[in-house]
Chain A
Amino acid sequence: SAVISQKPSRDICQRGTSLTIQCQVDSQVTMMFWYRQQPGQSLTLIATANQGSEATYESGFVIDKFPISRPNLTFSTLTVSNMSPEDSSIYLCSVRMENTIYFGEGSWLTVV
């Protein structure tokens, strides 16, 4: 398994601002993912964070809104840009190891 740390764990953000979420893994992993979970909903994949190249985004998510960095095999960031109340969600970093997905504890963002 992997130990995945996310920062911040919670934040209240002003409409129109941007926030960067950090994800640190305790071991080197090839595949890192960012998910969004809106209140009362299941998890939706935002993008796959590729080390050394641009992230691969799922339908409905774009780089301008959710820029992602992956500078090395243990770290990634997700920025939520120009936030609106609809962006209030839990954002989850995850890694794939041995055909299993492990999650960080999540970053709970509330946009006011």
Chain B
Amino acid sequence: GQQLNQSPQSMFIQEGEDVSMNCTSSSIFNTWLWYKQDPGEGPVLLIALYKAGELTSNGRLTAQFGTTRKDSFLNISASIPSDVGIYFCAGPENTGNQFYFGTGTSLTVIP
């Protein structure tokens, strides 16, 4: 199956700092999705991207659809303790019927 690699694997940051993470695929995608998962819960959709170069914001979160269509980036500005969790990227396989998920980035925010 498709391999989606996320970087970094984990981050430990001070409250108030900005966060950047990225996701790369081995093939071209026409959709990128970013999710956050709290412990013991299902993933919650943060941002959906549908066009190369697209830059979309959701509050303090901003995600970009890379121009090569093989990568995407998620930034969080002025982090707060409730940003703690695991962030996953996802993209569709060829038929678009199902989605592959990245390896995840674990974020810890130190108050």
Binding site for B on A (CB under 8 A): 1, 4, 6, 10, 31, 33, 42-45, 48, 58-59, 90, 92, 96, 99-106, 108
Contacts A99-B50, A99-B96, A101-B90 hold; do A43 and B44 have CB atoms under 8 A apart?
Answer: no
CA distance in complex: A1, B92 (Å): 18
Is A105 within 8 A of B42, CB to CB? yes
Q: Does B31 contact A (CB under 8 A)?
A: yes
Q: Which applies to chain B's interface (DSSP): helix, strand, loop or mixed? A: loop
Residue in contact with A42 in the complex, picked from B44, B88, B98, CB distance below 8 Å: B88
CA distance in complex: A105, B41 (Å): 5
Is B31 within 8 A of A43, CB to CB? no
Binding site for A on B (CB under 8 A): 1, 31, 33, 35, 40-45, 48, 50, 88, 90, 92, 96-104
13 contacts between A and B (CB under 8 A): A10-B40, A42-B101, A43-B43, A43-B88, A44-B101, A45-B98, A45-B100, A90-B40, A99-B48, A101-B45, A101-B99, A103-B42, A103-B44
Residue in contact with A106 in the complex, picked from B41, B48, B104, CB distance below 8 Å: B41
Q: Nearest Cβ in chain A — how far from B61, in angstroms?
A: 16
CA distance in complex: A100, B101 (Å): 13
CA distance in complex: A36, B94 (Å): 21
Is B97 within 8 A of A96, CB to CB? yes
Contacts A31-B97, A42-B88, A45-B98 hold; do A100 and B33 have CB atoms under 8 A apart?
Answer: yes
Is A108 within 8 A of B40, CB to CB? yes
Chain B residues lying within 8 Å of A104, measured Cβ to Cβ, are 42
Contacts A31-B97, A42-B88, A43-B88 hold; do A103 and B43 have CB atoms under 8 A apart?
Answer: yes
Chain B residues lying within 8 Å of A31, measured Cβ to Cβ, are 97
CB-nearest residue of chain A to B44: A103
